[in-house]
Amino acid sequence: MTEPDLPTVLVVDDEIRSQDAIRRTLDEDFHILCASDAVQARRQMEAQPVHVIVCDQRMPGLSGVAFLKEVRERWPDTVRIVISGYTDSEDIIAGINEAGIYQYILKPWVPDHLLVTVRNAVEARTLQHELHRLDLDLRAGAPVLRQRSQQTLARTRARFDFDRIERAPGSPLDAVCALAARIARYDLSALVLGESGTGKELLARALHYASPRAERPFVVENCAALTDGLLESELFGHKRGSFTGAYEDHVGLFQRAHGGTVFLDEIGETTPAFQVKLLRVLQEGEVRPVGAQRPLPVDVRIVAATHRALEEEVRAGRFREDLYYRIAGVTLTMPPLRERSGDIAPIARRLLGEVGVELGREGLELGDEALACLMAYPWPGNIRELRNEIARATALCDGGRIEARDLSPKVLHGQTGVAQARQGGLLPGSGTLQERLDAIEAMVLREVMLRHRWNKSRAARELGLSRVGLRAKLLRFGLEERAPRPGAAAAASGPAAGPGRVREDDADGDGDAAEAADPADPGTAAGHPIPGMLSP
Ligand SMILES: Nc1ncnc2c1ncn2[C@@H]1O[C@H](COP(=O)(O)OP(=O)(O)OP(=O)(O)O)[C@@H](O)[C@H]1O
């Protein structure tokens, strides 16, 4: 290796003897420059790149640590080492973070120790550069990576094409997909409205993969699933030690999605306090990880979704108007399946194919009578519920074709809502009107509380009640003391288990587990969900 190829180390010390001693220790492995004070050192650094600076703490003019602070600002790439006498160590420890010092070495220093420290410093710098280069390669697309990622991208794009959102010719979804496809290439935010299970996330993905951001990540966050603090840390990241349990730095989803799209599902469930923070991030284009000193620039497209009529939430003062206008650049509305029953046949066939592969029952057909039942049922849980039904029928089907007898009673007899709840023993079949209405009220309260994991503020907001009002109702129906431990999948029992009995094993509240349950099915529990009461 020729001299100029060696990493450059700048030694800053006003004592010429010390300078020489350091030079002799390092000059076999490094290209050494020397300076007697901060002024000379500055000049050296302005003239050429310096990999490592080894600086004495006691110098005329600026102290070592004070100069290294400046080095950190102006040449952050240079690894900083300080040498100090024992009596100066307190000053150094105080300044170690501000100057970003890699190592401090106490006098009298040992040559081998100094050599190893500087070697390690150079290695750390090289590694850091390597990481940076890889990151840039990934962003810019180094040739090989680019070629491979192009193939993967083409496959992913095809998988999430708007055409893969199954529908019948002339379906109302055509207009929704056409609008989404037209705006995909512009950096507009999009708000997807629609009941649960209508395909909002599927549409958001199609939008992302049809956009120029397709090569960058599409990340999803369900805003209803986390408390404000966790949501903030998930989306914006946090620094190690910023709160109890933050053992490591955590890169937030906004940073991970840099250049891509963030899909904020259930945005309507966020609290006003969180909405303020989100708005600031979107306005300023930068996130500040929890506990971090400085914000980081982020470039993401926001696609948000909610099952709520968000404009009404704004009018009612539950959702910030300024945030609404930020996220609702274009509004796309997914119609419920019951309003597009023509789509049921193609979607059911597609699902039959997918589920067949998953369950090892490929090639099943859908009988005419079974299809007629599927088309007559209103699907309150939309396509997610339809998928569960197809999976159940696939598992129960004896021959090569799904018949009406393979369907669950609710679909076979077209029962939903109150009729089904009564059949499942959830509603009394007799009693005064008030008693029956009470039973429904208790059932709704319990369902909403479960979905919000017993968070009263959120549940009250959804129900348009004050927290106190909600609490009074919970007490009245004996639901107040029964809040289960988070994650507990307890079967309902006790005084509230009558009218309000709802399965609790659907931990994420999206209705999956509930939709799969069926009293006539020997494989499921007796507690029967009420489709009309599932999370909308
Ligand atoms: N048109 C469609 N064709 C095929 N599958 C679909 C269609 N629409 C939705 N699905 C499937 O239905 C399921 C639910 O869709 P998705 O998660 O996109 O709905 P969502 O509206 O975002 O639900 P939620 O609000 O509960 O998050 C997914 O498995 C999705 O792949």
More confident residue, 76 or 242: 76
- Predicted local confidence at residue 354, as pLDDT: 92
Residues 294 and 179 in one domain: yes
- What's the CATH code of the domain at 289? 3.40.50.300
Q: What is the mean pLDDT of the chain?
A: 80
CATH number, domain with residue 361: 1.10.8.60
Greater confidence, 524 or 149? 149
Out of 173, 264, 383, give the residue to mutate to test ligand 1, the one with the largest number of ligand atoms within 8 Å of its CB: 383
Is residue 387 assigned to a domain? yes
CATH classification of the domain holding 110? 3.40.50.2300
Amino acid, res. 415: Q
What residue owns the CA closest to ligand 1's atom 8?
199
Each residue of 323-346: pLDDT tens digit?
Answer: 999 999 999 999 999 999 899 999
Is 210 part of any domain? yes
Listed residues 362, 377, 412: the one ending a domain = 412
Q: Which of 387, 412, 437 is the last residue before a domain boundary?
A: 412
Residue 297 φ then ψ, to 5°: -70, 140
SS3 assignment, position 122: helix
| Residues 305 and 316 placed together within one structural domain of the fold | yes
Confidence at residue 246, expressed as pLDDT on a 0 to 100 scale: 65
Contact 232, 189 (CB under 8 A): no
Q: Atom 13 in ligand 1: which residue has the minimum CA distance? A: 384
| pLDDT above 70 for 126 | yes
421 band by pLDDT with thresholds 50, 70 and 90? low
Q: Is ligand 1 within 6 A of the CB of residue 350?
A: yes
Instruction: Express each pLDDT in 139-177 by its tens digit.
Output: 665 565 566 567 777 888 888 899 999 999 999 999 999
| Higher-confidence position of 431 and 271 | 271
**Among residues 284, 332, 283, which one has the least CA distance to residue 304?**
332
pLDDT of residue 426: 54
Task: Provide the pLDDT for residue 175.
Answer: 95
Question: Is the pTM value of this prediction over 0.90?
Answer: no
Kindly state whether residues 169 and 201 are assigned to the same domain.
yes
Judge if 315 and 343 occupy the same domain: no
What per-residue confidence (pLDDT) applies to 353? 94
196 lines ligand 1 (CB under 6 A): yes
378: which residues sit within 8 A by CB, 6+ positions away? 338, 416
Q: Which of 335, 361, 377 lies at the terminal end of a domain, its last residue?
A: 335
Q: What ipTM was assigned to the predicted interfaces of this complex? A: 0.98
Question: Can you give 189-201 as a three-state secondary structure string?
Answer: CEEEECCCCCCHH
